[in-house]
Copies of this chain bind each other. A is one copy, B any other.
Amino acid sequence: MTKIMSLRGRDFTSTIDEMKLLMEPRSVALVGMTRRTGKGAFNTLENLLAIGFQGKIYPVNPEATNILGLKAYPDCASLPAGIDLAIIATPRQVVPTVIRDCIRRGTKAAVITSAGFAEADDTGKKLQSEVLSIAKRGGMRIVGPNSLGIVNNFSNFTSAFVPSPTDKIPIALVCQSGGFLNGFAGFTSGKSIDLGNTSDVDFPDVLQYLGHDPDIKLIALQIESVTDGARFADIASKVSKRMPILALKIARSEEGARAAASHTGSITGKAEVYQAAFKQAGIIPVRDVDEMGDLARAFINVPPLKGNRIGIITHTGAGGIMALDALSQNGFEPARLSPRTVDNLKHLFPVWSPPTNPVDMLAAAITHGYGKVYRESLTALLEDDNVDAILCICGIPTLKAIQQVADGKAKPVITWITGEWDETLLPKVKETGHKAIYPTPERAIRALAALREYNCLATNEAG
C-alpha cells in the first residue's frame, strides 16, 4: 500500500489499519469477563452476543471454564495467537500483566474499560504510564483506560458493558465519556468510540479512519481535551472537506475543567483556543447536546442548502412571526415568492389574505383542508427559484403530506412540529417517516444555518 502521509512517526495507511483492528475486529478476547448475567450484570459478552457479533470470542476468567456457552481461558498466556483485539476489564493492578501477555500472543490492539488510572490517584497515574510504555514497546494501540471503548453497529460489534441503540445510522461519534457512547448525546450514532483517558488512541487517529469510512456521513466530537492540537487541526481540516464535523467542547468553566482532571485525567485548555482551532479546521462548534442532535439531523436528512432565501409555510400566524425572528437572528432572508407561485396558490386563499411569505394557511385550510393546502403550497415553493429552503410549521396531521412532497427533492425542507413534544406526539411523528423535525423555530433555523456554514466552507475551498 502507498503511504499517504506521515504523522508523529506513523503513516496514514497504518493508522487506518490499526484503527480497523479496534473498530472492526474479527476476533476478540474478553479479559476479566464477569460470570454474572442479566439486568445490572454489566456483562460485555452478553451485550456482544445480543447485537449479533459474527467474529470469534475468547472469554478469559481464571475461575470459569465456560461462560454463556463459550470456552473460557484461565489467562491471556493461554489464548490462541493473533487475536485482533483484547477488551480488558480486570482490576487495575492486573492490567500491565494482561497487556504484556496479549502482546506476546500477537494481539495489537486493546480497549481498557477498567478505571482507576490517571483519572484517580497517583498509583493510577503510575499504572497508566506503565501500561502505555509496555504497549508502545510491543506495537499495541490502546483505547482508554477508563473507557467503554467501541460501538460499531455496521460490524455488529461492541466493547461496552451496557447496551446501546443498534441502528446503522451514518453518524460517527468520538467522545471521552461512556455516557456519550451510550446515546446520551441527543441522537443515535451508528459507530462510536469512547477514548476515555485517551492515553494512546486520540482524536486524530480516529478522524483518519473515519475520513475514509464509506458508512459515515457526519462526525460528532465530544471533547474534554485534545493533546496534540496541531496534529488534530491538520487532520480535521482534511476530513472536514469530505464530511461535516461537529464538536461539543465540554469543561469550559473552571469548575468543569477541575472535574475533567478527575474524570479522564485531562488538562483542558481555554475555551477560546478550542474555538479558534475548530474554525481553522472547518469544524462546526455546538453549544450543547440539543444543538449537536439538531445539526446532525439536518446534515443527515436534507440536501445541501444553496442560498439564503427561506420560504415559510405555517398554520399559525405567531409561528410565522417567530420563524421570521429566527431568520433575522441567523442572517437569512425571507424569500420573495415569485409571481407564478402567488398565482398558483391564490385560488386557495381568501381575497383579503393572498399568499405571501410566510404562507399563513389557516384560513385556506378551513375552506380546503390542511392536507390539500399544505401539499399545494409546499409543491409551489419547492418549484419557486426564489426559494432556497423551506421551513414548514405544522402539527402531526400534516406531517405525512410534507414528507411525501419533500421526499427526494433537491431543496432542504425542515419542519417545526408545534405542540408539546411528549409521549403522545413523538410516536406519531415517527410513523410519518419525516426526520428533519425540530421543536422550535429557533432550533430549526439554527440547523439550516449550519448547513449554509458547511456549504460555504466547501464552496470557498472549491473556489
Contacts and interface: CB of A to CB of B under 8 A. Distances in A.
Given A186-B440, A353-B120, A440-B186, A263 B324 contact: no
B260 A443 contact: no
Interface string A106-126: 000000000110011101100
Given A121-B352, A325-B252, A443-B290, A184 B319 contact: yes
Given A186-B440, A325-B250, A430-B423, A178 B255 contact: no
Interface in A275-309: 287-290, 293
Given A116-B350, A250-B322, A250-B325, A358 B418 contact: no
Interface string A307-320: 00000000111111
Copies of the protein in its oligomer: 2
A328 B253 contact: yes
A239 to B, nearest CB: 23
Given A184-B319, A222-B318, A322-B256, A429 B423 contact: yes
A121 B352 CA distance: 6
A251 interface: yes
Interface stretch (A4-12, A204-212, A363-371, A380-388): A363-371
Given A319-B177, A324-B259, A423 B427 contact: yes
With most chain B CB atoms within 10 A of its CB, the pick from A251, A324, A358, A427 is A324
B317 A263 contact: yes
Contacts of A259: 317, 320-321, 324, 358
B318 A177 contact: yes
A138 interface: no
B186 A318 contact: no
A160 to B, nearest CB: 12
A420 interface: yes
A175 interface: yes
Interface in A160-208: 165, 175-180, 182-188
Contacts of A360: 263
A46 interface: no
With most chain B CB atoms within 10 A of its CB, the pick from A176, A179, A287, A334 is A179
A329 B252 CA distance: 10
A439 interface: yes
A316 B179 contact: yes
B352 A251 contact: no
A408 interface: no
Contacts of A358: 259
B184 A369 contact: no
Given A179-B418, A430-B423, A443-B290, A321 B366 contact: no
A427 B187 CA distance: 17
A175 B318 contact: yes
- 4 closest A-B pairs by beta carbon, nearest first, are A179-B316, A177-B318, A184-B418, A253-B328
Interface of A: 40, 42, 115-116, 119-121, 123-124, 165, 175-180, 182-188, 222, 224, 250-256, 259-260, 263-264, 287-290, 293, 315-322, 324-325, 327-329, 334, 350, 352-353, 358, 360, 362-363, 366, 369-370, 395, 418-423, 426-427, 429-430, 439-443
